[in-house]
Amino acid sequence: MRSSTKINDELINFFAQIPDFSGVVLVADKGKPVYEKAFGYRDFETKSPMTTGAIFELASVSKQFTAMTILMLKQEGKLAYDDLIEKYIPGLPYPGITIRHLLNHTSGLPDYQDVMDKHWDKSKVAGNADNIAYLIKYHPAKSFEPGAKYEYSNTGYMLLASIAEKASGQDFIQFCRTRIFKPVGMTHTDIRTREQKIILPNIAWGHMYVPEKKRYVRADSFPEFNYAIWLGNRKGPGRISSTAEDLLKWDRALYTNKLVSQQTLAEAFKPAKLTTGTWSPYGFGWELVQNDKLGKVVQHSGDNPGYKTEIIRFIDADKTIIVLCNNAHEKMPEVLKTLEQAVADHAK
């Protein structure tokens, strides 16, 4: 990028127009930050200021890590993308679905969260075994035949974590810690329980705007509406918490062979061919986009109560945008559009 001073000036002016935005924004060129700023508060009650090292819930940005566990196990010959899922999770009443269908959201599986919302005792915390048991017990109808269309599915990624456990013989959280976070040097990244987050000094809590109170209130003040609490032991679709700088380390690792070979990784950045002959816009844990000026883009958004998150990787141009927001700001689409435009405008 031509001038980090120029990009800084532009973004300072832009963010001045949304004074209540809270979060961390990082823009990097070939791994070097050209813009990094913290806005707002880690906790609106205590007014503890946001820092660039604050830890956020990543929500669905976690899916790319779940996909990576599967890529690693495939590279080691411990599973195949076209394995049927019943090989790893017996008893699921949805035949004909493969690991590949789960990875690219073409399985047609019903939403496990919906089943749990209707039937689960929310005074208890559910994990994957509970989710799978309830899918078997209540057997909600599938949406479509496997491979027929693309429909974003948290169920698929919850099942992928359980498949990774079965194929590796290791707990999913331990696998992520020892095989991904530690080798990449992501020292602030983990899959944490609520209790572990409470004692963290630099956690950025998710906040929601409550119009009656005319202020932002912590999202965990409403536990019955907060699936992040009563589905708090789920693995796969969300639950990783991290910092912007750790995500930049992850971004860098994906340009190397540290986790998997570039040949293996290339599979994750390919769209899925549907049975209709058309292509889906999603690879393995990544949304796939083409930018007119900068070429191929792989990205993902996340959305948890009080949080909105995004990583955008311009992999042809080697530029990266990371946005972690802890007050689910309504102007997030505008923020992302402005950042993408600034990156494109200042590209060499």
> For the chain, what is the mean pLDDT?
96
Tell me which residues are annotated as active site: 60
pLDDT (tens digit per residue) in 80-125: 999 999 999 999 999 999 999 999 999 999 999 999 999 999 999 9
Domain layout of the chain by residue ranges: 4-345
**pLDDT score at 347:** 83
> Cα separations (Å) of 202 from 9, 53, 83, 199, 227?
28, 7, 42, 9, 23
**pLDDT score at 3:** 55
**For residue 23, pLDDT beyond 60:** yes
pLDDT (tens digit per residue) in 228-244: 789 999 999 999 999 99
Whole-model pTM: value is 0.97
Rounded to the nearest 10 degrees, the angle between the axes of helix 154-168 and helix 63-75 is: 40
- pLDDT above 70 covers what percent of the chain? 98
Look up tokens 């559910």; give the residue: 126
What's 4-345's CATH class? alpha beta
pLDDT band at 225 (very low <50, low <70, confident <90, very high): low
How many CB atoms are closer than 10 A to CB 298? 20
**For residue 156, pLDDT beyond 60:** yes
**pLDDT score at 88:** 98
**pLDDT score at 251:** 98
pLDDT (tens digit per residue) in 165-175: 999 999 999 99
Mean pLDDT of 287-302: 97
**For residue 34, pLDDT beyond 80:** yes
Mean pLDDT of 140-155: 98
